[in-house]
Structure 1
Amino acid sequence: MKNQLFTAIKLSLACFILLVVIYPLAVLGIAQFTPNKGDVDFVKVRDKIVGARQIGQVFTQNKYFWGRPSAVNYDSGVSGGSNKGPSNPDYIQTVQARRDTFLVHNPGIKASEIPAELLTASGSGLDPHISLQSALVQVARIAKARNHSTEIIQKVVMNSLEKSPAGTPFVNVLELNLALDRL
């Protein structure tokens, strides 16, 4: 019994050192090689923080691009998705409500033209980006709300494009909306 207790204490100490000391220091060390050294990249407008580049936020006005829905209301403290599967009645109802809302605010768009990412939450619930297709499907609504031509809004989208390591084009919704405000 004494041997088992001593072994349990040694294992607990080893896990503590590995998981509480070594692992966090390793992650912190790796983060030093990222552009912001692991810190949040806050976006400021006139010295006021309006958001963070890495965390999505809600935009519901017609004059703004809408991002991907969040199962956690963009709360970075509880990052995560929904555990509801595609056959869950509550999930189906939620997606249908999002689709119906999108169609009301974007007349002229067919349900089949709405990218799935605008109707379904991401795995983290914090995704700040949308695909080029998701941005372009919203252009007509924003052009009308801002009294601009669709060509001007499309140009803003194209000037805001980034590419994933795989080469897929996407836009950061916060930065795209700030670019609209600068028009």
Structure 2
Amino acid sequence: MKDIKPAILLFIMFTIICGGIYPALVTGIAHALFPDQAKGSLIIDKAGKELGSNLIGQPFSAPQYLWPRPSVTAEFGYNPSASGGSNSGQTNPDYLKTVAERVKTLRESGMTGLIPTELAQASASGLDPHLSPQAARLQAARIAKARGIPETAVQKLINENTAGPQLGILGAARVNVLAVNLKLDTLTR
């Protein structure tokens, strides 16, 4: 019985420390040092309306917008509460049919040449907010035609919104789809 009391006290103490004090401290430090990231890296317009996050992809299917990587999250695409891939393998007939349909849609939109895999296959998380610069540039002609603007203006916007590898060495160059699409709307207004 004398061993139970210290065990219970340690349990309560570590629950308070690890479940309350430590998370509150880390959250406070995160909000102090990285306020935008700690709040979800939200994109907010001048009127204060939340438009989305730099960290989570959003669905765009209209021809005047940059199309993101496909999402297969549950219930609806780009659902952050149901992040995950389809778990379908490369030999799954349903998966192959889905990829073929996506490629067909891209071809029908006017895309020629090699289709980057990121435009035909969903990611593991289903939430990718970025495309490679190559995948973004392949869509410039369609976007320009739909908006009635020069393709060079779209290419310039994509180039301006291309971020290099993190710290210069981690990952690859990337283009944030939501950021480009928001700026595209300012081009034609």
- Verify: 1:179 aligned to 2:183, yes or no: yes
Give the TM-score of the pair, scaled to structure 2: 0.79
Alignment gaps of 5+ in structure 1: none
Measure, in 2, the Cα distance between the counterparts of 1:155 and 1:22. 48
The CA deviation string for residues 104-135 of structure 1, in whole angstroms up to 9 with x for no partner, is 1125x13xx11101111111111111110110
Matches within 5 A, 1:123-138: 123-138=124-139
Q: 1:179 offset after TM fit, Å?
A: 1.0
Structure 1 residue 160, shift from structure 2 partner: 1.1
Look up the match of 2:56: 55
1:22 deviates by: 7.2
RMSD (Å), alpha carbons: 2.8
Q: Say which SS state the counterpart of residue 66 (structure 2) adopts.
A: coil
Residues 134-174 of structure 1: CA deviation (Å, up to 9, x unaligned): 10110111111111121111111111111221263211101
Give the drift of 1:52. Answer: 1.6
Supply the distance in 2 between the matched residues of 1:132 and 1:88 (Cα, whole angstroms): 29
Q: Deviations over 1:44-103 (max 9, x none)?
A: 234222222211100001100001111111111111112111111111111111111111
Q: Which runs of 5+ in 2 are unaligned?
A: none
Residue 36 of structure 2 contacts residue 42 of structure 2 at CA under 8 Å; is this kept in 1?
A: no
Partner of 1:100: 104
Letter in 2 for 1:178: L
TM-score after normalising by structure 1: 0.81
- Once residues 92 and 21 of structure 2 are traced to their aligned partners in structure 1, the CA distance between those partners, rounded to angstroms, is 41
Task: Verify: 1:144 aligned to 2:148, yes or no.
Answer: no
In 2, the alpha carbon distance for the partners of 1:9 and 1:83 equals: 43
The aligned runs of 1:1-183 (5 Å cut-off) are 20-21=19-20, 24-25=23-24, 28=27, 31-32=30-31, 33-34=33-34, 36-47=36-47, 48-72=49-73, 73-107=77-111, 109-110=112-113, 113-165=114-166, 166=169, 168-183=172-187
| Structure 2 Cα separation of the partners of residues 19 and 86 of structure 1 | 43
